[in-house]
Amino acid sequence: MKKNWDIFCRIVDNFGDIGVCWRLAKQLNAEYGLAVTLWIDDLNVAQKIIPQLDASLDQQMVDKIKLLKWQDKADFTIAADVVIEAFACELPALYISAMAEKKSKWINLEYLSAESWVADFHAKPSPQANGLIRYFYFPGFTDKTGGLIRESGIKQLKPTDDAALLENDQCCLKVSLFCYPNAPIQDLLAALQGNKNKVVVYVPDSSILSKVADYFGRKTIDAGEKITKNNLTVQVLPFLSQADYDQLLSACDLNFVRGEDSWVRAIWAAKPFIWQPYFQEENTHLKKLEAFLASYYANLDAKEAVCQLHAAWAGQHPLVPVWQDYLDQLGLIADYTLQQSQQLAMQEDLAGKLVRFCHQIE
C-alpha cells in the first residue's frame, strides 16, 4: 500500500476546509499508519483549528502530521504516492509534473452533498494529458459515495449531556450557535427570548459576534461574557478546538451548524441540528439543503417542521412563526436524529474508503 500521502488545502470557507483536511490527515496517520503531509496556504487561519501550529514556520510537525506552507517558493519537486487535492484547490504545476514522474495517485476530494447525482460521479476517472488519472471523490450519505469522516471510536451513538463548558441546569434548553453572518441571527435570538422556559445559547468566538452584540444593543461582545434578557442567556465562548467543539455539540439540545465540518460533527453528536450551507450563486446552496433534508429526514413525522425552520434559517421566510412548531416536536426530532446517526455509523467511513480505493487503483 502507498504509504506517503500529501493533502493540499486552500482555505476558502474560513475554517471548514482546514477543519476537514486536518481531521482526515490525523485519521489517516493514526488509524492507517500513513505518513501524511498537509500543505496549507493560510497558516494564520489554520492556527485557529491547530493551536500547536506556529504560523511563522514554513515547515513543522504537529501530531505526527508534517505541515508545510503552500507558497510559490516551496519545493514542489517531490510528490507523494497519493495526493489529495482538497475541494478542487488546483495543484501547483511543478508538483503535478513531479506527480507524473512518480506516477502518483491523484484524488480530487469534493465537497459533501446529498444530491442524487453524487453517486453517479463518485470515483470517476479523468485521464490527463501527462498520463496521470485524476479521480473525483465525493463524500456522501450512502454506500455508493465516499462516506463521511468518522474516526474509529467516535462517541456518536449515545448523546451526552455533560460538558465543562455548559451550565449544569437540566431545566433549560441548551443551544449552540455557529453560523455565517448572513443568517437571521437576531430573529433567532428574538424567538429564543420569547421561549416559555429558560434558554442558554453558547456562541463560540466567530464572525457573528457583532450581530449578537447588536441584538443586545451593544457595540461589542467578547469571549467570556454572558448576557441575559428575559428567558434568554447568551454565553460567549472562546474559539474552541475541534475536540472542545465536538463536546459542545454533544452536550447541547440543539445545534446550529454551518458548512461541512461542523455539519458532519453535528450528525455524530446525535442531537437535533439546523444546518446552514455555504452561500453559492444561483441558489445552488439551497438545492444542496433541499437534497439533504429530503434524504436525511425522509421518514420523520415532523419533517415539515424541520424543513420550515431550515428554510427560515436560509432566509426563505420569517423564522419566528415556525420556531414554536419545531420546538414542540423537538423530542420526536431528537429520537429520529439519534437513529440516523446510528444508521450512518454502520457505513464505512471516508478515510477507510479512501485507503481501500487507492489500494484498488494501484
Amino acid 13: pLDDT: 62
User: How high is the mean pLDDT in each 10-residue block of the chain (362 residues)?
Assistant: 89 82 97 97 92 96 97 96 95 97 97 95 96 97 96 66 57 93 96 92 95 95 94 95 93 96 96 93 90 97 97 95 96 97 96 96 82
Amino acid 164: pLDDT: 53
Amino acid 156: pLDDT: 47
> Could you tell me the pTM of the whole model?
0.93
Amino acid 32: pLDDT: 96
Amino acid 270: pLDDT: 96
CA distance 266 to 260: 10
Cα dist from 287 to 17, 115, 264, 337, 352, whole Å: 21, 8, 18, 21, 28
- Assess whether 85 carries a catalytic annotation: no
Query: Which position among 17, 115, 261, 349 bears the catalytic label?
Result: 17
Query: Which position among 81, 115, 260, 290 bears the catalytic label?
Result: 260
Cα dist from 58 to 35, 42, 156, 271, whole Å: 18, 11, 36, 39
- Between the CA atoms of 271, 273, 277 and 283, what dihedral angle is there, to the nearest 10 degrees? 140
- Assess whether 115 carries a catalytic annotation: no
